[in-house]
Amino acid sequence: IFPLLPNLIGFTPHQAVATSLASVFMVTFLNTIAFSREKLVNWHTGILLGVPSGIMAFFAGAWAAGTAEFFIRVFFLFILIIL
């Protein structure tokens, strides 16, 4: 979602990151509930993966808030090229 928002809709990179994270949160939250009802969620592994991810997301948000839009665009372009 992130690469589309600045280019097609005109969002700033900061708005694009925040909007992308909000959409990922909603999808994750709703699917966790659905899969949990089917007893398909391994909560132990989810916590082991989720806690460090949450901590890193906090630091990434702090980095993005203090970083110029140009560098955020270059960073995500670099990530897209690698993947």
Q: Could you tell me which residues come within 8 angstroms of residue 64 by beta carbon, excluding any fewer than 6 positions away?
A: 13, 14, 17, 72
Tens digit of each residue's pLDDT (9 = 90 or more) over 54-67? 999 899 888 888 88
DSSP H helices, 1-83, are: 4, 13-37, 43-65, 69-82
Q: Are 24 and 32 in contact (CB under 8 A)?
A: no
CA torsion through residues 42, 43, 49, 54, sign:
positive
Inform me whether the pLDDT recorded for 4 exceeds 80.
no
What's the whole-number average pLDDT of the chain? Answer: 88
